Structure 1
Amino acid sequence: MPALFFALLSEAKPWIQKTKVTPLSHSGKFRIYRNESTSIIISGTGKMAMALAVSEFVSLLSKDERNQTKVWNLGIAGAKETLGKIGDFFWVHKIKDYATDKDFYPERIVSSSFPKETSLTTFDKPIAKQQNENRFQVLTKEEWESVSLVDMEGSGFFEAASLYFPLENIAIGKQISDYLEGTFCKEDQVKQMMESILDPLYEEWMTPLPWVKEDPFETQIWPELCNQLNSLRLTETMRHDLKKSLRFFHLRFPTSPIPSPQWETIPKIQSKLDLKIFLDDWKVKLHV
């Protein structure tokens, strides 16, 4: 299951509409949207918020799921005029955290319809070429010469994601939104820019990782069970917890049939309590 991390809702909107993901009802602090095949997470601005969002999302996954999850951070970024045009998209092969002076090196994208690569510097404040009423951080001449793309989340995303996911599963891509004039982009502008790169990136994002083999649980077992359980109207949390239990049994006993629940009791389910009892009884069989 691929996962996309965005700082802003305006960046994520085209992807939410494309994938038809819905909000996950959970006890966490961040907005997580999911369907049966994808996840989209919105962190809010700042590297700390992004790192926490990554950690919260990871708590929903098993170790096996983490190894098979492609995780990307996409969004807008400021840039020097010499780098490219507004709307140009770049993969990031180096990240510098300005505050800590740490460098991070994401794996290079081997094949993409967007071939450009560059470095990214993550700052704790918005950056501008010169001081203005918005009080953006202004760089020295030496600092200005060393930057390429500029954002506020990249280092937080990569440092957190690399703790939980294989490095080859992680990628960061940024689209030039401005030339650091000291103004904020409007939501509609951001949405339009992200829409312009969505279709080709979507195909690449949905392409399975080359080292992940077809999973019969995902392609056969789980879809068949979902069809049988369709009338129960499970919440996203119930669905997620049940799927984890089913996968747990399948991983332990890959050649054994998954124990069936008490299908005959389904017509008698009238309340959430009845549904919970039905699921709990089934999980007992799955965790033998």
Structure 2
Amino acid sequence: MPSLFFAVLSEAKPWIQKTNAKPVHHSGKFRIYKKDSMYIIISGIGKIAMALAVSEFAHLLPKEERDEMKVWNLGIVGSNQPNWKVGDFFWIHKITDFVTGKDYYPERMTSSVFPMETNLTTFDRPVSKTKTENQFQVFNETDLQSVSLVDMEGSGFFEAASLYFPLENISIGKVISDHLEGNFCKPETVESIVTNVMEPLFFEWTTPLPWVTEDPFETKIWPDIWKEVKELRLTETMKHDLKKSLRFYFLRYPNTKIPMPNLELVPKIKSKSEVKTFVEEWKKQLHV
């Protein structure tokens, strides 16, 4: 059960034609297409529009479906790396929101026909390295020194998606359309660029998540751990965050025993601050 988010129709059109997806009639604002269990969503330009589209879509689904859904954001980006070519595809392992300075870390794609990874910086306006008549933000080489790829939706997508979907279900992939020359791509150019990478991505997108059909973490590991620590009386938020960190470790190191804290301390922990410290120290072990 996969879903796919795009900013504009020209990015989504090849995928809509490939899947033969049809519009979903609903009372919301954003365009949603569906074919069987596949969804394609078009948000419009910008991180706020993307975040709202993710939220609206998530609220149309029961939690059980969200937990089993592969959630991707694909689209075109500008590149600050002159040696990377138009049409090169990258998975994103770090997103920086330029305005807020916040960093986000999507799960790394462990197996894909496209092996390259890099970071993505999300801006509120289009970016150019040369002054143009268009309404671009102009930056020099020094300003963009740590920037690899540039878009306007990535941080909004990831921040919203991580509220509704398991982190390990979320991926972001981007294909280079320009080198920040200050020109908008024509729709037919965008369609061509997206089409050229679509075929292998389609197979990967429609392949079920490996933990959906059989989930030993959910059936065995988490219940056993929870028996040991439920006496802490965690808030629902703390419980959710701890479980997410434990699952992260399990997926990253499936053949390694999950690090556990000193469980003899559990009966002695009474105050909320002690509980919080105990959990935070445990989570640090899980994210090394």
Q: TM over 0.5, yes or no?
A: yes
Report how far residue 35 of structure 1 moved.
Answer: 1.8
CA distance in 2, matches of 1:130, 1:87: 22
Equivalent in the alignment of 1:60: 60
Where 1:66 maps in the other structure, the secondary structure is helix
AA in 1 matched with 2:90: F
AA in 2 matched with 1:36: D
C-alpha contact 2:119 2:149 (8 A) present in aligned 1 = yes
Where 2:85 maps in the other structure, the secondary structure is coil
AA in 2 matched with 1:126: P
TM (normalized to structure 2)?
Answer: 0.73
Larger Rg: 1
Equivalent in the alignment of 2:82: 82
1:172-183 map, 5 Å: 172-183=172-183
Where 2:144 maps in the other structure, the secondary structure is helix
Equivalent in the alignment of 1:123: 123
Equivalent in the alignment of 1:194: 194
Q: Identify unmatched segments of 5+ residues in structure 1.
A: 215-288
Q: 1:4 to 1:102 in 2, by over 3 A?
A: same
CA distance in 2, matches of 1:82, 1:164: 37
AA in 1 matched with 2:99: A
AA in 1 matched with 2:67: N
Report how far residue 55 of structure 1 moved.
Answer: 0.3
Is 1:27 equivalent to 2:30 in the alignment?
no
Where 1:143 maps in the other structure, the secondary structure is coil
C-alpha contact 2:81 2:148 (8 A) present in aligned 1 = no
Q: 1:136 to 1:128 in 2, by over 3 A?
A: same
CA distance in 2, matches of 1:130, 1:82: 14
C-alpha contact 2:82 2:179 (8 A) present in aligned 1 = no
1:140-155 map, 5 Å: 140-155=140-155
AA in 2 matched with 1:210: P
Report how far residue 87 of structure 1 moved.
Answer: 0.3
1:84-163 map, 5 Å: 84-163=84-163
Equivalent in the alignment of 1:50: 50
Q: What count of residue pairs does the alignment treat as equivalent?
A: 214
Equivalent in the alignment of 2:72: 72
- Deviation per CA, 1:199-228: give whole Å up to 9, x if none: 1000000000000118xxxxxxxxxxxxxx
Where 1:163 maps in the other structure, the secondary structure is helix
Where 1:190 maps in the other structure, the secondary structure is helix
Where 2:210 maps in the other structure, the secondary structure is coil
Equivalent in the alignment of 1:284: none
Report how far residue 140 of structure 1 moved.
Answer: 4.0
Q: 1:100 to 1:83 in 2, by over 3 A?
A: farther
Where 1:86 maps in the other structure, the secondary structure is coil
CA distance in 1, matches of 2:26, 2:187: 27
CA distance in 1, matches of 2:83, 2:2: 29
CA distance in 2, matches of 1:207, 1:50: 24
Report how far residue 120 of structure 1 moved.
Answer: 0.1
1:255-274 map, 5 Å: none
Is 1:6 equivalent to 2:13 in the alignment?
no
Q: Identify unmatched segments of 5+ residues in structure 2.
A: 215-288
TM (normalized to structure 1)?
Answer: 0.73
